[in-house]
Amino acid sequence: MSKPTNLYSFPSVDALAPALRAYVIYCQEAGITRHGVFKVAVSGGSLPKTLAQALLAPPTSENDTVKWDKWEIFFADERAVPLDHPDSNYGLLKAELLDKLPAGTPQPVVHPIDVEYLDDPQELADQYEQVLVRSFASRDSVKLPIFDLLLLGCGPDGHTCSLFPGHELLRETSAWVAPIEDSPKPPPVRITLTLPVVTHAVKVAFVATGAGKKEILKDIFEEGKGLPCALVNQGTGERCSWFVDNAAVEGVSYPRRPFSL
Ligand SMILES: O=C(O)[C@H](O)[C@@H](O)[C@H](O)[C@H](O)COP(=O)(O)O
């Protein structure tokens, strides 16, 4: 039986950001040690902004370095829209983070969706799965891709990636990437990593901030209720860490841990 998920709570987003940075750099170093690169997937929503606050801060020591040229960035979920559309998660990450890297920064490899397939969600997902197959193929017997880190958000209904409560996609067992055409959160057509891929990652980090999350965090941490975020917690145990502010966990009885690596 794995140990329980880590819940780290901070007084504010400003206090959370340096811890998130330290955690991401820890995962980066572990990835580089393992296979020379850092394979990370990110969600949309409020995450890219908080991530930017964490990662664009000046380094405080020699070990506190984001090695962008070792990063391979994937999308944990993406909306079926052009890359310059306001709903694009790629566009969001680019605007919030990638475009703000200081001039001369060695660039990460970024894997957006192939917009040629926007009109065919299944093909869009299959093509993105092929991107993963190519990227992870050098690893021994790849039954599932093993991301070094997944950086995820939590929706007010308990969804994560584009895995929504009660949706049949939660029962997907074979695809790595799946289409969804009836997302309750607009826009309706998206692709998403599937639950087996999410729970197979070396580490999973959720970032959830603001009082708007406290009711659902109660459900996720106290009762589970089969919510997608709770399923990730159950499938990953101590490999999963939540970075939240106090407002998001007010009244949640699950024990917080002091942040440490
Ligand atoms: O494309 C998306 O819609 C996101 O990937 C989604 O899974 C998001 O992470 C959550 O909805 C949390 O969003 P907030 O952080 O904005 O609440």
CA of 46 to the centre of ligand 1 (A): 7
Instruction: Tell me the average pLDDT across 244-256.
Output: 97
Distances (CA, A) of 112 to 62, 66, 152, 153: 31, 21, 17, 18
Q: What is the number of other CB atoms lying within 10 angstroms of the CB of residue 2?
A: 11
Q: Is 209 helix (H, G, I), strand (E, B) or coil?
A: coil
Asked whether residue 78 is domain-assigned, the answer is yes
Looking up residue 202, the CATH number of its domain turns out to be 3.40.50.1360
pLDDT tens per residue across span 130-146: 999 999 986 556 789 99
pLDDT band at 3 (very low <50, low <70, confident <90, very high): confident
Burial class (CB in 10 A: 0-12, 13-18, 19+), 10: buried
pLDDT of residue 49: 97
Instruction: Tell me the average pLDDT across 90-94.
Output: 98
Ramachandran area for residue 210 (φ above 0: left; ψ -120 to 50: alpha; else beta): left
Mutation pick for ligand 1 pocket among 13, 20, 43, 195 (CB with most ligand atoms within 8 Å)? 43
CA of 162 to the centre of ligand 1 (A): 8
In angstroms, the first-to-last Cα distance of the chain is: 21
Asked whether residue 79 is domain-assigned, the answer is yes
CA of 44 to the centre of ligand 1 (A): 5
**Among the listed ranges 91-100, 132-141, 178-187, 227-236, which one has the minimum average pLDDT value?**
132-141
Asked whether residue 259 is domain-assigned, the answer is no
Q: In sequence order, what DSSP letters do the residues of 15-74 get, joined into one string?
A: HHHHHHHHHHHHHHHHHHHHHSSEEEEE--TTHHHHHHHHHSSPPSSTT----GGGEEEE
> Distance between CA 25 and CA 164 in Å, rounded?
30
Query: Is there an atom of ligand 1 within 6 Å of 50 CB?
Result: no
CA of 77 to the centre of ligand 1 (A): 9
Task: Verify cis geometry, omega within 30 degrees of 0, for the bond prior to 187.
Answer: yes
Asked whether residue 257 is domain-assigned, the answer is no
Helices (H), the chain: 13-35, 47-55, 89-96, 121-136, 195-200, 214-218, 228-236
Instruction: Tell me the average pLDDT across 115-143.
Output: 89
pLDDT of residue 258: 95
Range of the domain at 128: 6-57+66-247
Residue 153 CA: nearest ligand 1 atom is 9
According to DSSP, residue 116 is labeled G
Mutation pick for ligand 1 pocket among 78, 151, 152, 185 (CB with most ligand atoms within 8 Å)? 185
Percent of the chain residues topping a pLDDT of 90? 96
Asked whether residue 130 is domain-assigned, the answer is yes
Instruction: Tell me the average pLDDT across 107-135.
Output: 97
The whole-model pTM stands at 0.97
CA of 133 to the centre of ligand 1 (A): 25
> Distance between CA 182 and CA 186 in Å, rounded?
9
Is the per-residue pLDDT at 15 higher than 70? yes
Asked whether residue 88 is domain-assigned, the answer is yes
Is the per-residue pLDDT at 115 higher than 70? yes
180 touches 169 (CB < 8 A): yes
Instruction: Tell me the average pLDDT across 161-173.
Output: 97
Mutation pick for ligand 1 pocket among 16, 46, 163 (CB with most ligand atoms within 8 Å)? 46
pLDDT of residue 141: 61
Instruction: Tell me the average pLDDT across 72-80.
Output: 98
pLDDT of residue 2: 74
pLDDT of residue 88: 98
pLDDT of residue 19: 98
pLDDT tens per residue across span 206-234: 999 999 999 999 999 999 999 999 999 99
Percent of the chain residues topping a pLDDT of 70? 98
145 touches 200 (CB < 8 A): yes
pLDDT of residue 33: 97
> How many structural domains are present in the chain?
1
- The ipTM value here is 0.97
Among residues 52, 7, 76, the alpha carbon closest in space to that of 248 is found at: 7
114 touches 83 (CB < 8 A): no
Which tokens sit at 163?
Answer: 């895995």
Which tokens sit at 16?
Answer: 């959370």
CA of 255 to the centre of ligand 1 (A): 25
Query: Is there an atom of ligand 1 within 6 Å of 209 CB?
Result: no
DSSP H or E segment with residue 244: strand 240-245
pLDDT band at 1 (very low <50, low <70, confident <90, very high): low
